[in-house]
């Protein structure tokens, strides 16, 4: 933690932050299972939600919403809250592990707009990834919410090379390309769990990505903008940032997906 603080130019109390980070790591590992078996009314009391009007305004357009999540804090709780509140939402990414029975059940559906066609595999072929992209576009064109992360790392040569938390990494532009293709609004979302067990969930102002963002090199500024917002939260709440502080910086995951969405496959 001391090395992270030095690299980021922060004067954190390293011992205190390290202890808080350790406590949060246990909470992070249980994902949303802390909410298992609780009623909707009880769950509502455990969330402090800000900016819901931003989300609802974007949904009301009927053009689809990319809910731009990340790996900060209790990010799985965003999906749990969304589904509890009755939003027509789908998860686009790798199948989440160690989640509650409720969330696992909600993330099982098939058909043209179902969830099953949206889970990604690191070993997927280009044809499989193309099918996932088409499925995601159908979900957005149907006016639904598509939840995916802004901070997915990639070794694909068309990935965006962006400085994040004091290091340059390569990040997938999948969400940028989907937003450019469909015209869906992008709503950044963050969630953190405080020491009293309250989840602070916030939705930021929606914005739109222009169609030309798919051109080579154009997606980088959008990725940089999204990661800058994540970094602000990390610097403000380092104890919520266990995923980032234990990252290696080799590329991961959606290389095939990046090829498909960049239009260069």
- Domain residue ranges of the chain, discontinuous segments joined by +: 2-261
Task: Give percent above pLDDT 90 in the chain.
Answer: 77
Q: Which of 12-16, 95-99, 247-251, 261-265 has the lowest mean pLDDT?
A: 261-265
pLDDT tens per residue across span 132-174: 999 999 999 999 999 999 999 988 878 999 999 999 999 999 9
- Look at residue 32 in the predicted model and tell me its pLDDT: 95
pLDDT the model gives residue 253? 41
- Enclosing H/E stretch for 224: helix 219-236
Q: How confident is the model at residue 248 (pLDDT cuts 50, 70, 90)?
A: low
What is the pLDDT of the chain when averaged over all its residues? 90
The confidence score (pLDDT) of residue 252 equals: 42
- Contacts for 205-209: CB closer than 8 Å, 24+ residues apart: 205/51, 205/54, 206/54, 206/55, 206/57, 206/58, 206/65, 208/179, 208/183, 209/176, 209/179, 209/180
How many helical (H) and strand (E) elements, i.e. helices and strands, does the chain have?
Answer: 11, 10
pLDDT at 256: 46
Confidence at residue 261, expressed as pLDDT on a 0 to 100 scale:
54
- Residue written as tokens 């997915």? 152
According to the model, what pLDDT value does residue 182 have?
Answer: 97
Cβ contact 34:101 at 8 Å: no
Q: Using a cut of 0.85, tell me whether the model's pTM lies above it.
A: yes
Query: How confident is residue 124, by pLDDT bands cut at 50, 70 and 90?
Result: low
pLDDT at 250: 42
d(CA 86, CA 17): 36
Q: What is the pLDDT of residue 130?
A: 87
Q: 258 pLDDT band (50/70/90 cuts)?
A: very low
Q: Reply yes or no on whether the pLDDT at 238 is more than 80.
A: yes
**Stretch 120-131: mean pLDDT, rounded?**
73
Length of the chain: 265
pLDDT at residue 262 greater than cutoff 60: no
pLDDT at 251: 40
Q: What is the mean pLDDT of residues 83-89?
A: 97
Residue 126: predicted pLDDT = 64
């Amino acid at each position: 933690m001391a090395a992270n603080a030095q690299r980021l130019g922060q004067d954190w109390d390293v011992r205190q932050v390290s202890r808080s980070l350790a406590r949060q790591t246990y909470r992070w590992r249980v994902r949303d299972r802390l909410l298992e078996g609780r009623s909707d009314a009880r769950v509502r009391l455990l969330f402090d939600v800000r900016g819901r009007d931003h989300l609802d305004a974007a949904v009301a357009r009927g053009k689809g919403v990319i809910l731009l999540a990340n790996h900060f804090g209790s990010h799985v709780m965003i999906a749990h809250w969304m589904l509890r509140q009755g939003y027509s939402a789908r998860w686009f990414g790798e199948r989440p592990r160690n989640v509650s029975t409720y969330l696992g059940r909600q993330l099982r559906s098939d058909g043209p707009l179902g969830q099953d066609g949206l889970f990604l595999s690191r070993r997927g072929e280009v044809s499989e990834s193309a099918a996932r992209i088409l499925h995601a576009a159908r979900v957005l064109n149907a006016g639904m919410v598509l939840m995916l992360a802004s901070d997915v790392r990639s070794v694909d040569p068309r990935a965006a090379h962006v400085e994040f938390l004091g290091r340059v990494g390569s990040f997938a532009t999948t969400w940028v390309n989907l937003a450019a293709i469909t015209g869906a609004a992008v709503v950044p979302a963050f969630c953190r769990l405080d020491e009293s067990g309250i989840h602070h969930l916030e939705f930021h102002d929606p914005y739109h990505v222009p169609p030309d963002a798919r051109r080579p090199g154009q997606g980088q500024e959008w990725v940089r903008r999204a990661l800058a917002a994540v970094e602000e939260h990390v610097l403000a709440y380092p104890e919520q940032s266990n995923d980032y502080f234990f990252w290696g910086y080799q590329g991961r995951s959606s290389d095939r997906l990046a090829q498909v969405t960049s239009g260069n496959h």
